[in-house]
Amino acid sequence: MDKRIIQEKINQAIEILNEKKIDLWLIFARESATIHDPSIDIVVGTNCTWQSAFMINRNGDTTAILGSLDVPNMEMTGTFKNVTGYVKSIKEPFLEYLNKHKPVKIAVNYSVDSNLADGLTHGMFLVLNNLLKETPFKDSLVSSEEVIAALRGRKSKTELDYMKEAVKETLLIFDMVTNFMKPGKTEKEVGAFIKRIVAEKGFELAWDEDHCPAVFTGPDTAGAHAGPTDRVIEKGHIINIDFGVKINGYCSDLQRTWYVFEDGQDTAPEEVQKGFDVLKESIRKAKAIVKPGITGCEVDDTARNYIVENGYEEYQHALGHQVGRVAHDGGVGFYPRWERYGKLPYLPIEVGQVFTIEPRLTVKDRGIVTMEEEIVVTENGCEYLSTPQEELILIK
């Protein structure tokens, strides 16, 4: 837990509450080490046991009401100004707080579209409603989705510094794996090589170990979220790897593409080079239109349409997602207009958000071409956090 970042995010949350005209953000949880609300990591910094209320008020007050045995730990954590304990019931101190501050809108963590804003369990929602049923606050609950999306998306300078470090280290590991890969190696061997480096450097993987890294060689590979297999790298294969690390609590998420020469070749075949060039241009075109206020589906349209216009099938996923404390962070993304994404494709992009751009296309009998870059949205457009792949990486 980096207390400096948590304090930055608490201050940012207060600004967002005032911007959204929401009086109070309530994180209502219990046994959070077992059933975890993701927002606890951002603004609290420690877990709770009994029913607990972590409250950030638009007036700047931060108050935690917890079981008495959790109070010393919360006070040592030092992230909230006021810490109150109870023994038999949270009801009295909780309602006392509400009656003192009289919030009209209380944001709680439920969301239809964003999993990272959906940390309030149904059981705790029922407990909360029961506490409020005979009070003036019974109709005050609203979704915190907008608050959490803004808070997770608008990266502070410290957060960006950590993310830049994660990106830099990921690219260095890609360079190392280039020298390791050759015909005869299996996907699993490549994956194990990468994991050894990560362990030696003392990093964490950015997502689940069973498919980080994801390694794909040749045609007819497993799906995009599958782990390495016993498939052997062969001459003439396209290889792609999807991989990221977590450093200081912040993730990277990048992909690179290689081509393995066949005997007698000194350049990639025309169809492989064309696939690479089309994909690279689709990323360039998408990045060029990113700016504050544009919707994610407009960015997705740009890359998707370019790939289809050049004779390839459209990719079966979003163009990109936010990255932060997790590899697939919440809120708006570069999502297509598909029902599965709800309203998220139509939300405006904001300054400080970090996104991936990761289209893909298939080259028949060769494999999948895909690169994944990271960008940060600026006042006037966006900038790369990663050094973009400009050429096929060739393996002799």
Question: What are 48-99's pLDDT values in tens digits?
Answer: 999 999 999 999 999 999 999 999 999 999 999 999 999 999 999 999 999 9
- Residue 303 confidence (pLDDT) above 70: yes
Query: Vertex 383, ends 377 and 385: CA angle to 5°?
Result: 100
| Co-location of 244 and 315 in the same domain | yes
| Co-location of 147 and 122 in the same domain | yes
| Co-location of 244 and 298 in the same domain | yes
| Co-location of 143 and 200 in the same domain | no
| pTM, entire model | 0.94
CA distance to 23, 42, 156, per residue, from 20 (Å): 9, 19, 19
| Co-location of 8 and 77 in the same domain | yes
Give the end of a domain, one of 131, 152, 173: 152
| Co-location of 226 and 326 in the same domain | yes
| Co-location of 204 and 325 in the same domain | yes
> What pLDDT was estimated at residue 53?
98
Percent of the chain with pLDDT over 90: 96
Give the end of a domain, one of 134, 152, 170: 152
Q: What is the pLDDT of residues 315-364, one digit of tens each?
A: 999 999 999 999 999 889 999 999 999 999 999 999 999 999 999 999 99
| Co-location of 123 and 186 in the same domain | no
CA distance to 170, 174, 184, 199, per residue, from 393 (Å): 16, 10, 18, 25
| Co-location of 356 and 337 in the same domain | yes
Q: What is the pLDDT of residues 163-210, one digit of tens each?
A: 999 999 999 999 999 999 999 999 999 999 999 999 999 999 999 999
Domain interval for residue 251: 154-395
Helix (H, G, I), strand (E, B) or coil at 175: helix
Give the end of a domain, one of 129, 152, 175: 152
Separation of alpha carbons 229 and 210, rounded Å: 11
> What pLDDT was estimated at residue 13?
98
Total tally of structural domains belonging to the chain: 2
| Co-location of 161 and 176 in the same domain | yes
| Co-location of 193 and 129 in the same domain | no
